[in-house]
Amino acid sequence: MTSSETAVLAENLAKSYRHVQAVAQVSLRVAPGETMGILGTNGAGKTTTIEMIAGLRVPDRGQVRVLGLDPRRDRARLRQVLGVQLQDAYLHHALRVSELVELYRSFYPDPRPADELLELVDLTRQRRTIFEKLSGGQKQRLSIALALVGRPRVAILDELTTGLDPAARRRMWSAIEQLKSEAVTVLLVSHAMEEVERLCDRVAVLDAGRVVAVDTPAGLRARAGTDTLDDAFVTLTGKDLEEAT
């Protein structure tokens, strides 16, 4: 893959919090239009990795490029092309759903229509609800809608469907399938193997702050000599996914 064929490039990333080495050595290359899954046990460094890619955390070492942009130096340009599913803590808890959507729409020249976004994540009926009164799953769906407001070329989604009911999960999967059909590059942190099998072109398996394998779901199964991705994960990391979730 040459650099012009790379949508997301992370090279030799490392990050420590005081005495904890969250990310020891992570390198990734994601092609334009590719959906790359990031799998790993709890504490493997997934969130820290994507936060560095999104420019929300400064790496101790290594470099990141998203569509050729440096997340810190080119922050303003990156914001126009990158959509990040933010944690609750980053959102304004006292605003109504529709107000949050309008606020985020105001950041972009050609935002998706509010109705379309709310329909996409099935929050049309909650448009007048204040953020902090939403259920956990509704908050999560709203954070996904906000990541997609600006028609990003690259979307970073952290635990897309964790805690969602089966209908909401399927809805999110179709939303990602729609992004794939629009050639959006997606980085998807997940603990759900069915989701990874269905949506991801390739998967990076992280363990203890390092990438232990990057391959297609089928490639990981073949490499580990297992029938399921669950078993491949256990073989590659030596850890049970039950421990990981």
Ligand X SMILES: Nc1ncnc2c1ncn2[C@@H]1O[C@H](COP(=O)(O)OP(=O)(O)OP(=O)(O)O)[C@@H](O)[C@H]1O
Residues in contact with ligand X by the rule CB under 6 A: 17, 20, 22, 40, 42-48
Q: How far is the CB of 43 from ligand X (least distance, A)?
A: 4
Q: What are the structure tokens assigned to 184, written together?
A: 């959006």
Q: Give, in order, the Cα–Cα distances in Å from 16 to each of 50, 52, 173, 233.
A: 14, 12, 33, 25
Q: Please, which residue, 45 or 83, has the CB nearer to ligand X?
A: 45
Compare residues 55 and 111 and give the one whose CB is closer to ligand X: 55
Smallest gap from residue 57 Cβ to ligand X (A) = 9
Six token digits for residue 122: 């099935």
d(CA 149, CA 146): 5
* Min dist. Cβ of residue 86 to ligand X (A): 14
Q: Which of 112, 202, 187, 121 is nearest to 157 (CA)?
A: 187
Q: Which amino acid is at 149?
A: V
By beta-carbon proximity to ligand X, the closer residue of 35 and 48 is 48
Burial degree of 167 (CB within 10 A; 0-12, 13-18, 19+): exposed
CB nearer ligand X, residue 44 or residue 144: 44
Give the Cα separation of 62 and 157 in Å (integer): 22
What is residue 12's three-state secondary structure? Answer: strand
Q: How far is the CB of 237 from ligand X (least distance, A)?
A: 12
Cα–Cα distance between 15 and 209 in angstroms, integer? 9
Closest approach of Cβ 59 to ligand X, in Å?
12
Closer Cβ to ligand X, 19 or 128, answer by number = 19
